[in-house]
Amino acid sequence: MRTHQKYSGIAACALVALVLAAPIALPGQMRGRRGNSSGATPHPEAFKGVVATFRGTLKKLTKKEIVIDLVDSHELMTFRRNKSTKFLDNDAGIKPGAIDFESVVSVDASEDVDLKLMAIRVSVGTPKKADAK
């Protein structure tokens, strides 16, 4: 009976020691996550105003979004649109409903405030080639 009490006492002491030592060990594991690393990601302001052009076939066109299948990689790309998004055919303004699905379009887009792509201009057909000078 004494041996059982002896082991129970040792187990209880070990448990108390473990409970007291755990809070000391945990903050040491969290040190790497504190603070902000200076070179991790650029600030969103760094890309403000940058416009990229994406070319593909039109898959979906709603009042809030445009989905195209990219010509080069055959990936689906989704863009937001708003009332300031322009729709053009041969540099003439058209209504969005005039664009047929599966038409080849070029979408000029930039990052929105929440870092999603916002369509600025949607052009139907092949883009005009710049004059060589």
Q: What is the pLDDT of residues 102-120, one digit of tens each?
A: 999 999 999 988 889 999 9
**Greatest pairwise CA separation for the chain in angstroms:** 102
Q: Where in the sequence is the domain holding 18, given as residue range(s)? A: 2-27
In tens, the pLDDT along 55-106 reads 999 999 999 999 999 999 989 999 999 999 999 998 899 999 999 999 999 9
53 located within any domain: yes
Reported pTM: 0.61
Domains identified in the chain, total number:
2
Strand 86-89 versus strand 117-124 pairing type: parallel
| Per-residue pLDDT tens digits for 61-75 | 999 999 999 999 989
Nearest to 126 by CA among 35, 55, 48, 51: 55
Same domain, 53 and 117: yes
Does some domain include residue 42? no
Residue 35 lies in a domain: no
- Report the distance separating Cα 118 and Cα 85, nearest Å: 8
| Count of other CB atoms within 10 angstroms of residue 59 | 14
Q: With 50 as the cut, is the pLDDT of residue 45 above it?
A: yes
Compute the distance between CA of residue 43 and CA of residue 85 in angstroms, rounded to an integer: 25
Based on the domain organization, do 9 and 58 belong to the same domain? Answer: no
